[in-house]
Structure 1
Amino acid sequence: MGRPRAVARPATGLSPREELLAAAAELFTVNGYSATTTREVAERAGIRQATLYHYFRGKEELLAELLESTVRPSLEAARLLAASDAPAGARLWALAHRDATLLCTGEHNLGALYLLPEADRFLGFQELRTALKQAYAHLLAPITAALPQHERDLRADLVYSVVESVILIRRNTSARAVEGMGEAVADAALRVGGVGEADLAHLRELGRALLPGR
């Protein structure tokens, strides 16, 4: 049972929907979003084009799902970290580590899709990004509490930008190993946020304990 495939494909263990997203991720990041058609996505996934429309309304919905997939795990991590009684700086370090690692890993650099002019049209994606940015600002607030509000806002913007900078790093230096990137970005985020070197090592150790599997 199930909808027929256009061509035989090696078994991947992915559902047809996941196959389509994987194909779209490859084609959008390698060939470009505008240059990719739904027919090409379907063919790459080994699925008939008519079947694609059973799962997605079109190319824009594929892009929206890929964009949102780069934010949802980090936003869920932020919600879990909010429940921790660890110092805010340690939770901020852990969130930056998990977020940067998510953006650095994966077969394709989905974060590069943020740079598409079309990305601004997806309200669901933008709402998720805004919520994640607010989560960073909330964790940073105790560190910047003594600063004027405009400086607190600037620090929050800078911390968020430091994490997202891995998108350009990965895009411009594809051979760069991602091992250690999470820690480097998390350290940089705390420094930009105003954490001094004397406190950074301690917060890093506490932050490591908040990572999955620790």
Structure 2
Amino acid sequence: MKKRNYILKLIPLAIVFILVPIVLYSLSDAPRRDNLFEALSILTILGFSLLLSQFFLARTNKDLVKDIRMVNVLKVHKFIGYLFISILLLHPFFLVVPKLFDNGVTATDAFLKIITSFNSLGIILGLIAYVSMVIVLITSFFRFKLHLKYKTWRYLHGYLTMLFIITATWHVINIGRHSNNHFSIFYILAVASGIYFLMKTYVFKTSKK
């Protein structure tokens, strides 16, 4: 019964960050490709969307913490974080895979172009987001080995996450294949709400003290 209630409390977040992106994807007018490529696109969209949900799977969501306890919120937070950051780490390779079936640009040339093109704001933002995402992953996984105090790590984690989310969202809106007005509104609302709750919990609370 407890496990069932635990899952029920997460349904609203699942609807927002899983069902809504799938609906928006289905309504997108972007040209469809082979099933493999579309599956990679859906996986990337869901991965990014679920990382946005991390703002609401933390102590910032006081109602959820109260309902299912902080220890369970952290379990879900860590599971989603490690799983979908690992998936998004493969994002550049997902872009290269279609080139293996293309007679034009080779996969190697496409990958080198991605990591060395600095004349596109979207690509620069993507590189910043990628690097910050890697740092978030490393500092989270090796927090104890880095001997960081919890408070220091918590603020570092929060600010790095904001850097990643803001640059990644801008990157997606700027050059995302399935980016459109509906997706942009969804991402901006999710990011703005998440940052608001994060700042309310850490920055505004500290200022009042």
Could you say which TM-score interval applies, normalised by the shorter chain? 0.3 to 0.5
Length-normalised TM-score, structure 1: 0.32
Greater per-residue helix proportion: 2
Larger Cα-atom Rg: 1
Q: TM-score, normalised by structure 2?
A: 0.32
